[in-house]
Amino acid sequence: MALETVVFQQDPSSTLGLGATWIHGFGLEGEKANYHETLNTTISNIGSDFHPNNNWDTNNSSSQEISCACKGGFFTGGNAAGRRKRQRRISIKDEAEVAHQRMTHIKVERNRRKQMNDYLTVIRSMMPPSYVQRPDQASIIGGAINFVKELEKLTQSLEAHKQVNKVQSDVEVTMTERHANLKILSRRHPKQLLKMVTGLHSLGLYTLHLNVTTVGQMVLYSFSVKVEDECRLTSVDEIAAAVHEIAGRIQEDAISNCMPSSE
Angle at 188 between CA 187 and CA 193, to 5 degrees: 115
pLDDT exceeds cutoff 60 at 12: no
C-alpha neighbours within 13 Å on the C-beta side of residue 98: 6
pLDDT exceeds cutoff 60 at 4: no
C-alpha distances in angstroms, 147 versus 127, 142, 157, 261?
Answer: 7, 9, 15, 17
3 state DSSP class of 155: helix
What pLDDT does 225 receive? 92
Mean pLDDT of 137-147: 89
Give 170's contacts (C-beta < 8 A, 6+ positions apart): 184, 185, 186
Model confidence at 25, pLDDT cuts 50, 70, 90, reads very low
pLDDT above 70: percentage of residues in the chain: 59
Mean pLDDT of 142-155: 90
pLDDT in tens, 220-240: 999 999 988 888 888 888 888
pLDDT exceeds cutoff 70 at 128: yes
pLDDT in tens, 28-44: 455 555 655 666 665 56
What pLDDT does 230 receive? 85
What pLDDT does 23 receive? 45
What pLDDT does 59 receive? 46
C-alpha distances in angstroms, 74 versus 71, 82, 175, 176?
Answer: 8, 13, 124, 128
Tell me how far apart the alpha carbons of residues 211 and 222 are, in angstroms, rounded to a whole number.
5
Which of 54-68, 89-103, 236-250 ranks highest by mean pLDDT? 236-250
Domains of the chain: 161-258 (3.30.70.260)
pLDDT in tens, 191-205: 888 998 999 999 889
